[in-house]
């Protein structure tokens, strides 16, 4: 028996942003492992679609329309799941958006939406679920979606990159706090590299409305389609590492290693940020 099936089969999983992208892939994999899956998603059509898909495959699901940018919605999600199924074994705070554009051109509402979904959605997801997970005294897992971007820099993706730096820092500190409790809860930071999802599709973020942002989104979409990892395989790899109690969960370890090595070199040099040749090529291509 694989470690992910051994640890997760029969348990309850809660996945935010479960209607698309990595959240959808993880929901499918959790269902394959025999978990009951609470699907939290802000888009009602996507929520209905994934719920129908997983139920047709024999999974037990609980669809909950959830806007993670609202702390009260995450409290309601936790109440709904615990009232319906009881204890949660796996919480994946996944919901996030990619926002593209020069920092000074992204509108106020775009900045607020990005920060509220990508950062506050994870913070309040933990706040809403963790007290009951700790109180149960049983083994459980909390995984937050960061990114290899948490160790890098990227012009025109500043809003997204800064939120992933924040998620990584939050998750590191959370792991230390949980360790102080002595409770058997594992904390993981999921660091997807390039995985084929819809995150760069037009209208998926809160971009500035100019040609540069649209061109960069198209370039990244094409790059992901050509070089990205298969979603099902990435989801399998991620949940296997989460189940094993890994803190750093990577889809493509070599890519993660390169990003971390670059971050270390940058901090040690204490020089101003420089565009790498690869970054320059991506910007020029747009």
- Active-site positions? 160
φ, ψ of residue 145 in degrees (nearest 5): -85, 105
Cβ proximity of 146 and 190 under 8 Å: yes
Give the full edge-to-edge strand order of the sheet including 140-145: 61-65, 36-41, 12-16, 90-93, 140-145, 185-191, 248-250
Please state whether beta strands 185-191 and 140-145 pair in parallel, antiparallel, or not at all (unpaired). parallel
- Specify the residue for token string 């554009």: 101
Using alpha carbons, select from 92, 185, 94 the residue that is nearest to residue 140: 185
Cβ proximity of 235 and 26 under 8 Å: yes
Tell me the C-alpha distance between 255 and 101, whole Å.
Answer: 24
**Cα dist from 235 to 22, 28, 74, 226, 282, whole Å:** 7, 8, 24, 18, 26
φ, ψ of residue 248 in degrees (nearest 5): -85, 115
Return all residues near 221 (Cβ < 8 A) that are at least 6 apart.
Answer: 200, 201
């Amino acid at each position: 028996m694989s470690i992910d099936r051994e640890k997760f089969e029969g348990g309850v999983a809660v996945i935010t942003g479960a209607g698309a992208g990595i959240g959808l892939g993880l929901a499918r994999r959790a269902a394959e492992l025999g978990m009951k899956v609470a699907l939290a998603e802000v888009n009602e059509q996507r929520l209905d679609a994934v719920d129908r898909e997983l139920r047709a495959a024999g999974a037990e699901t609980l669809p909950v329309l959830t806007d993670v940018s609202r702390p009260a919605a995450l409290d309601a999600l936790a109440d709904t799941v615990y009232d319906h199924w009881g204890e949660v074994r796996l919480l994946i705070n996944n919901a996030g958006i990619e926002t593209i554009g020069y920092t000074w051109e992204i509108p106020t509402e775009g900045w607020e939406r990005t920060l509220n979904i990508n950062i506050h959605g994870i913070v309040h997801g933990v706040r809403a679920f963790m007290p009951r997970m700790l109180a149960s005294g049983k083994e459980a897992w909390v995984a937050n979606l960061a990114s290899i971007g948490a160790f890098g820099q990227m012009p025109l993706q500043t809003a997204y990159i800064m939120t992933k730096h924040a998620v990584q820092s939050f998750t590191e500190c959370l792991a230390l706090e949980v360790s102080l409790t002595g409770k058997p809860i594992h904390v993981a930071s999921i660091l997807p590299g390039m995985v084929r999802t819809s995150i760069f599709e037009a209208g998926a973020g809160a971009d500035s409305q100019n040609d540069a942002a649209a061109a960069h989104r198209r370039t990244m979409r094409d790059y992901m389609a050509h070089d990205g990892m298969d979603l099902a395989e990435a989801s399998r790899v991620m949940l296997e590492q989460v189940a094993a109690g890994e803190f750093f969960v990577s889809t493509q370890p070599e890519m993660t290693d390169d990003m971390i090595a670059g971050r270390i070199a940058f901090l040690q040099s204490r020089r101003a940020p420089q565009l790498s040749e690869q970054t320059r090529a991506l910007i020029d291509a747009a």
